[in-house]
Amino acid sequence: MSDLHAAAKACLDATEPTEKLRLTHETWQAFRRGELQADPSSPPPEPIGPPGRPARPRLVNARQLPQRGLGSAEGRVALVHAVAHIEFNAINLAWDAVYRFRGKPHDYYRDWASCAHDEARHFAMLSARLAGLGHAYGDFDAHDGLWQMAEKTAGNDTARMALVPRVLEARGLDVTPGMIERLRQLGDEATVAILEVILREEVAHVAAGTRWYLHCCERDGIEPVETFFGLIRDYMGVDLRGPFNRPARMEAGFSPEELDRLTRLAESSRPSGDATPPSRSRSPAGMN
């Protein structure tokens, strides 16, 4: 196989985590060696549907997920499981970006294939941590918010680049430092070490979203800031949560104007008295 789009589809369709990780790493290495390229004659992408994933975890509405305190052993393992689920979804999101959107520059495909490789490594680290805690991926319910947005933006590469990396996945930049601090206080240095790796590398993934969002805006001759907030309004309403990690987001390509407007939007959409205590989490990447 020399067609990158077909290889990405194979990764996307794999249902078992071990197989998805194996294919992901092999595909990334083949791409790096120049053995895979985006083939203009590749069949057009199929309509988007559910990605390959195991029968478990059971997917439920985000608001049905219980809130657990990180002070309990169950709360900590549930947190690790929730982050593992986000990373598993992120593998699929990266490969769908490669498979679905055609005619992109080589660096676009390199960015998202590299991202899939990173996310697979993150998932493997979290799976090993779950095993060390006596659990496995699938032991807790999860939600499907990330993939639902992928489905909504399947026909619009500008919206995909704006909303999946720069809104939904970027939420991890905001909440992960607080999780690290709390887990360090609890003495869980093993989980802290994994989250520190993920936080550091996720900045680059969000930056890739920024880079290709701006590319789409330049291609179409549209103003990026107003377009970004228009897409948030059209696809998400105003259901945003702050606060925002300004240093990490600026490193990932957000402008001060964007961050100021995101802060105002989150404040205007938050009901009075609505706040999630830092020691409790329904969804660690803020994907409620």
The CATH number covering residue 191 comes to 1.20.1260
- Is 26 domain-assigned? yes
- Is 55 domain-assigned? no
The whole domain housing 15 covers 4-36+66-281
Please report which confidence band the pLDDT of residue 1 belongs to, taking 50, 70 and 90 as the band edges: low
Enumerate residues 6+ apart whose C-beta is below 8 A from 72.
Answer: none
- Is 22 domain-assigned? yes
- Is 223 domain-assigned? yes
- Is 56 domain-assigned? no
- Is 52 domain-assigned? no
- Is 51 domain-assigned? no
In tens, the pLDDT along 14-64 reads 999 999 999 999 999 999 999 999 999 999 999 999 999 999 999 988 887
In tens, the pLDDT along 79-89 reads 999 999 999 99
Return the structure tokens found at 172: 């991890």
Domains identified in the chain, total number: 1
End-to-end CA distance of the chain: 39
- Is 287 domain-assigned? no
Element (H, E) at 281: strand 280-281
